[in-house]
Amino acid sequence: MSETTRVKIKACSTGSLLYSLRKSGIVASLRAKDMIQKVNVPQEVTLVTISVKDLGYKSSAKRRDIYESAFKQGLCECPVSAALSYLQGDNLRALKVGRTLVFGINPYKSSDGDLNLLIVERCDNGELRLYAGSGEPEDSWNNYTSFVFMSDSNAN
């Protein structure tokens, strides 16, 4: 079942954003840090968290199909700034060990040419890991992975 979260995006420096993520217990990969370098758009948005299963896929789906299904449900891409603000709050408290939360952003092209999404996982030791990857249209996600998209009411 989907969940709606209103996120107030705070304008801040990259350094203070990375500090805030570390303080929240999130370890960011180099690719994730690279994406963070390009962020700043203060606004307030409504985000919707929805699992691949709730989008209608029994076992797994490709990123292209996940996005298409989300867009048909009135969702749109999540701004990277909203994703990072989401990470700074208590929104990840309910993320269970072994579960993955993917931000349905416009995939970011890294210096090696790969398309990347922002991804958070709760590891077996309880640590939260933020990394960037698996943004190619053909990349597959299992049915218990959840994606965060923006409500299209914000896109107007």
Distance CA 111, CA 53 (A): 32
pTM above threshold 0.85 = no
Residue 64: is its pLDDT beyond 80?
yes
Residue 134: is its pLDDT beyond 90?
yes
pLDDT score of 83: 86
Distance CA 33, CA 67 (A): 24
The answer to whether the beta carbons of residues 87 and 120 sit under 8 Å apart is yes
- Boundaries of every domain in the chain: 3-154
Residue 4: is its pLDDT beyond 80?
no
Q: How far is CA 40 from CA 35, 120, 152, in A?
A: 11, 20, 20
Residue 122: is its pLDDT beyond 70?
yes
Residue 153: is its pLDDT beyond 90?
no
pLDDT score of 55: 93
Considering only residues 61 and 7, tell me which one the structure prediction assigns the higher pLDDT. 61
Average pLDDT over residues 72-79: 91
Q: What is the pLDDT of residues 5-58, one digit of tens each?
A: 656 555 566 777 778 788 878 888 888 888 777 665 445 778 899 999 999 999
Q: What DSSP character marks residue 42? A: -
pLDDT score of 30: 86
